[in-house]
Structure 1
């Protein structure tokens, strides 16, 4: 019996085509929660830009959010994991971005800061939705940064890794990677959630579609890759379902007896 289900957002709950949550997904998650399964978001997004359907009062009731790839975790009772990037590492990345080595978006609790509005960032926004970011990084250190989106090609991450002492990166698409604290990521957020609720890994299921979901799959008893996921993600999952727009969540829930 599952006691918790962890969901990625983009490409898993929210469609890249419509930028909405399918009705079948809303139905499936409502049934799961009514059956006593905790619905937990595990996302690279911040609390600011979680889809409206997943916000308090939205169409889907959520028990907890593991934001910034697990660096800030909270539920209705408060925050249970808070792990921002170290200031010296933020400073190093900001320096490189201001030197024009690559573009970045700094993700903080109350705002996003963008180095410049480049074609590469614009292209990503067309896929996942617009990010309301402030231009300029001069005030970057006045608030903790939990994650940095670095618009850099796969294989070139050494540019910032050589300058930072306590970071790692994860990637769910070709356009950019997420810089997070070393030892962080969705597994760290899941571990914190399991401890908070007294749940064992084999009592959990996770749903995802991106490269940053592969490590999450290894933290739970069962895992589901969405139909549009890469081969690597599908190989790592217990089960491969259809695309989000083709009732992928509903079909997976039926397969695992969650409906």
Structure 2
């Protein structure tokens, strides 16, 4: 039976913004050679997916946390925000002095000041890892960005923020209201908070259901593998959800099935256990 697997990128395929376990590449290519479908399912913009990830080879990609999906260059799913939604989010950030990124399908756009702040956060985290005797990656996961002045606000899919306050995820959700989906982000910070803001109902799970309907496949036969809070809705719609070993325990509990960590052959071990390879 042909199965379809949806894979998150950061923390699932890619670690520290640049590291991929060789077994992950082998597993994905072997699963596809065996007749299964493997799709990316990421919160990143399509244009911000690491080229080493793209080079592995996939059957399609869901990006921007479910706002877009493409296959062989064809746009299958497209749900950008309205311009007034983007304005409401940016007004909130301005009122509270929060730095942010706006994402479209093609690129990531940075508000003035966010890159130095993010780089300082990453520098602190790497220093903490070095002090603890842990490996320090050669590169960081800071997005490749364009100036905010270049963004087309009719094409924005989501916003990502970095805040000095620890409670911004809950505060933003309360202040922005039910139209918006606010969740913790995946940027590892030594303090403050990081989060993502999209439209309610536009998630990885909603995009997966749209893709499966177009492909004529049953969600019960689908696999979803991830490690972040934007993977919750993916876990809810696929028949076989799998959390990475590096995911927080609360997220692992939501998936039920747990594989090993991203650089500890997590994708390979999941594919082997599920019979894809």
What is the TM-score normalised by the length of structure 1?
0.88
Name the CA distance, whole Å, in 1 between partners of 2:255 and 2:22.
24
2:143 corresponding residue in structure 1: 131
2:13 corresponds to which residue? 13
1:215 aligns with 2:227: no
User: How has the CA–CA distance of structure 1 residues 165 and 214 changed in structure 2, closer, same or farther, with 3 Å as cutoff?
Assistant: closer
Q: How far apart, in 2, do the equivalents of 1:42 and 1:110 lie? A: 16
1:41 maps to: 40
Aligned residues: 254
Give 1:89's aligned residue. Answer: 85
Structure 1 gap segments, 5+ residues each? none
Are 1:252 and 2:274 an aligned pair? no
CA 1:24/1:159 → structure 2, altered by over 3 Å: closer, same or farther? closer
Q: Does 1:196 align with 2:214?
A: yes
Alpha-carbon spacing, 1:95–1:161, altered in 2? closer, same or farther (3 Å): same
1:112 maps onto 2:111 in alignment: no
Query: Comparing 2-11 with 233-242, which one deviates more in the overlay?
Result: 233-242
User: Cα deviations across residues 146-179 of structure 1 (Å, max 9, x unaligned)?
Assistant: 1100224445443465346732123243742111
Residue among 54, 60, 64 paired with 1:64:
60
Q: 1:49 Cα deviation (Å)? A: 1.0
Output the CA distance in 1 between the equivalents of 2:184 and 2:236. 17
C-alpha distance in structure 2 between counterparts of 1:23 and 1:30, whole Å: 11
CA distance in 2, matches of 1:234, 1:163: 29
Relative to structure 1, the CA distance from residue 124 to residue 64 in structure 2 (aligned partners, 3 Å threshold; closer, same or farther) is: farther
Structure 2 runs not aligned, ≥5 long: 127-138
